[in-house]
Structure 1
Amino acid sequence: MRNFCAAPNCTRKSTQSDLAFFKFPRDPARCQKWVDNCRRADLEDKTPDQLKKHDQLCAKHFETSMICRTIHFAEASEN
Structure 2
Amino acid sequence: VPNFCAALNRTLKSTQSDLAFFRFPRYPARCQKWVENCRRADLEDKTHDQLNKRYRLCAKHFATSMICRTRHFASNP
Given the two structures, how large is their TM-score scaled by the length of structure 1? 0.81
Preserved contact between residue 26 and residue 49 of structure 2 (Cα < 8 Å): yes
How many residue pairs are counted as aligned between the two chains?
72
Higher helix share: 2
Higher strand share: 1
Given the two structures, how large is their TM-score scaled by the length of structure 2? 0.83
Kindly name which structure, 1 or 2, has the bigger radius of gyration based on alpha carbons. 2
Aligned to 2:52: 52
Cα offset, 1:15, TM superposition:
2.1
1:7-52 Cα offsets, whole Å, 9 max, x none, are: 0111110224511000001100000010010010000000010001
* Structure 2: gaps of 5 or more residues: 72-77
The answer to whether the aligner puts 1:11 opposite 2:11 as a matched pair is yes
Segments ≥4 residues shifted beyond 4 Å:
none
SS at 1:68 equivalent: coil
